[in-house]
Amino acid sequence: MTKIRKIHPWRRIVEIGQGVILLGLPFLKIKGESALRFDVPSLELHLFGLTLWMEEFFIVLVALIFLALLIIFITLLFGRIWCGWLCPQTVIADFTSFVDKAKGKGLPGKLIAWTATLLISIIVSADLIWYFVSPYEFIPRLIEGRLGNIIWGFWISLTVIVSLNFILLRQRFCATVCPYAKLQGSLFDSKTLTVAFDPRRREECIECMACVKTCPVGIDIRKGLNIACIHCAECVDRCATVMSPRGKNSLIGYFFGLPGEGGRIVRQNVIMIGALTAAFLVFFIYLLHIRMPIDMTVLPNYVFQPRISAGGSVVNSYIISVRNRGRENAGLKVRGDGIPGDIKIVPDKVLHVGAGEMQKFPVYISVNNLKGDKSTRDINIIIETVEGKKYVLTREAHFIVPEVK
Ligand code: SF4
Ligand code: SF4
């Protein structure tokens, strides 16, 4: 009798961990906001303590490219490890395996299994919505009966789709609907980690069919790699149980490349994709490092025509829009430079913009003793924070010198 080292308990631990993380993330608050949530009304993405605004979605795009490359990299190395161990479709299908077991138990057994699946689907669908509407807002609104038609509509629709998926499709979803499963075939190479039957030991197979019966997608792995295989390794454990009393190990296992051909983890394509993935990660971190919580736009104030004051100064007016994306209120001073003359700003006081707010300020710039006779100059309008961490932003604007009549 050979000692059996089952993979299933490890998979179950990983699946429980994944479930706890996905259910718990919307409840986890970092700096007062959900750890991961896209807030639809304000178009803000809360990302582990960071808040990214719509106009910063270039950073999100870089993060998405990094994630796509990471998926390609992991798939190239470890095949369908995501599908078998971490994909919510597989995890929930495993936790609702009573639906498969209820098939031979008549209508009452099926009704109980379907009802349990429906209850799980209600929670899963609510969890999906919590990545857009905070559970700290969702749950009180639900209790007080003011969830709103739109959220109810989404919740009911998602529940119907999720429950039908886990009652009718289940693991067939992976082979029929999932685009990632179809894409993976093209991401594998001859050395990728796969679950495979060891053909060198074919004579040892007793044709018990236990591996086929246990397979959630109903394939016979002994016939070779199959696109429907989600690499859950259930067949590995089943064959191990069959072979153990005969003093042998499982005929099926995880192999880098074909069994017996010697897998090589470090390969040219793995190094290239790995380097590209790392480059995008570094770029993403760099963008986060240089991003400013304060943003500013400057437009001419069209209700104030440039003019020459009684004292001889040239006066232009601008509307300065300041957005404070940070979590703290900002105090800002405006100044100007780039023009040969004495520059004065009105109002010459600290402007306050609350955390998460956008404010517009009319600003008058008066230049005395202006040198030269150009009718249009470029002026630098600068704002800088006067308290906390120092941020300085500069925008160029036209400064008009009207003709003296
Ligand atoms: S062949 Fe094995 S690893 Fe693949 S899906 Fe079936 S049981 Fe899972
Ligand atoms: S479980 Fe093992 S011994 Fe039984 S049919 Fe599958 S590969 Fe052969």
Q: Do 316 and 344 touch, CB atoms closer than 8 A?
A: no
Q: Is residue 215 located within the same domain as residue 347? A: no
Residue 168 lies in a domain: yes
Assess whether 242 and 325 both reside in one domain: no
Residue 6 in contact with residue 237, Cβ under 8 Å? yes
- Measured from the Cα of 238, ligand 1's closest atom is 7
In a domain? residue 72:
yes
| Residue in 78, 67, 73, 77 with CA at minimum distance from that of residue 281 | 67
Alpha-carbon torsion, ordered 77, 83, 86, 92, to 10 deg: 180
Same domain, 104 and 213: no
Q: Which domain holds residue 46?
A: 8-186+266-280
Number of domains in the chain: 3
Same domain, 275 and 308: no
Residue from 171, 212, 219 whose mutation best tests the ligand 1 pocket (most atoms within 8 A of CB): 219
- The answer to whether the beta carbons of residues 200 and 261 sit under 8 Å apart is no
Looking at the fold, whether 367 and 240 belong to one and the same domain comes out as no
* CA-197 nearest atom, ligand 2: 7
Q: Is residue 285 part of a domain?
A: no
Handedness of CA 140, 143, 149, 154 (dihedral sign): positive
Measure the N-to-C terminal CA separation of the chain; round to a whole number of Å: 108
Predicted TM-score of the model (pTM): 0.75
Q: Give the integer Cα–Cα distance in Å for 112 and 120.
A: 12
Question: Ligand 1 pocket, 239 CB below 6 A?
Answer: no
Phi, psi of 255 (to 5 degrees): -135, 135
Calculate how far, in angstroms, residue 5's C-alpha sits from the geometric centre of ligand 1.
17
Residue after which a domain boundary falls, among 280, 312, 330: 280
Give the closest residue to 253 by CA, choosing from 185, 206, 199, 184: 199
Determine the atom of ligand 2 nearest the C-alpha atom of 252: 7
Same domain, 60 and 101: yes
Ligand nearest to the CA of 220: 1
Nearest-10 Cα torsion for 100, 83, 173, 110: 20
Nearest ligand to the CA atom of 11: 1
Task: Please report, for the domain that includes residue 229, its CATH number.
Answer: 3.30.70
Q: Of the residues 235, 242, 254, 255, which should be mutated to test ligand 1's pocket, given the most ligand atoms within 8 Å of the CB? A: 235
What's the CA-to-centroid distance between 242 and ligand 1, angstroms? 16
Residue 122 domain-assigned (yes or no): yes
Does 78 share its domain with 175? yes
If 0-12 CB within 10 Å is exposed, 13-18 middle and 19+ buried, where does residue 8 land? Answer: middle
CA 191 to chain centre: 29
Does the CB atom of residue 381 touch ligand 1 within 6 A? no
Asked if the structure places residue 1 within a domain, the reply is no
Distance CA 385, CA 375 (A): 32
Is the distance from the beta carbon of residue 83 to the nearest atom of ligand 1 less than 6 Å? no
Average pLDDT of adjacent 10-residue blocks, the chain of 405 residues: 82 93 92 85 82 81 92 88 88 87 80 91 96 93 92 96 91 82 76 89 92 91 86 93 91 86 78 95 91 88 91 93 84 91 90 86 92 86 86 92 75
Strand-pairing partners, residue 229, are: none
Would you list the DSSP string of 178-193?
-HHHHHHHHH--TTSE
Q: Are residues 307 and 182 in the same domain?
A: no
207 Cα–ligand 2 center, Å: 6
**pLDDT score for 293:** 81
Task: Examine the domain organization and report whether 303 and 275 are in the same domain.
Answer: no
Ligand nearest to the CA of 196: 1
- List phi, psi (to 5°) of 328: -125, 150
- Would you say residue 286 lies in a domain? no
> pLDDT at position 263, please?
67
Ligand 2 site, residue 239, Cβ cutoff 6 A: yes
The residue whose CA is least distant from atom 4 of ligand 1 is 229
Q: How many whole angstroms from 85 Cα to the centroid of ligand 1?
A: 12
> The CATH number of the domain where 339 resides is what?
2.60.40.10
In this structure, the residue with its CA closest to atom 2 of ligand 1 is 235
**Residue 164 forms part of a structural domain:** yes
What DSSP string describes 141-181? HHHTT---HHHHHHHHHHHHHHHHIIIIITTHHHHHT-HHH
Q: Are residues 149 and 135 in the same domain?
A: yes
332 CA → ligand 1 middle, Å: 62
* Residue 356 falls in which region: left (phi positive, over 0), alpha (psi -120 to 50) or beta: left
Q: CA neighbours within 13 Å on the CB side: how many for 318?
A: 24
Q: 144 and 80 share a domain?
A: yes
- Tell me, what's the pLDDT at 405? 57
Which is it for the CA torsion 228, 233, 236, 237, positive or negative? negative
CA–CA gap between residue 186 and residue 252 (Å, rounded): 23
Does residue 405 sit within a domain? no
Tell me if 396 sits within 8 A of 300, measured CB to CB.
no
Judge if 34 and 50 occupy the same domain.
yes
What pairs with residue 367 in β-bridges? 314, 343
Tell me which of 195, 198, 242 to substitute to probe ligand 2's pocket, judged by most ligand atoms within 8 Å of the beta carbon. 242
Q: ∠ CA(98), CA(100), CA(221), 5° rounding?
A: 125
CA 394 to chain centre: 32
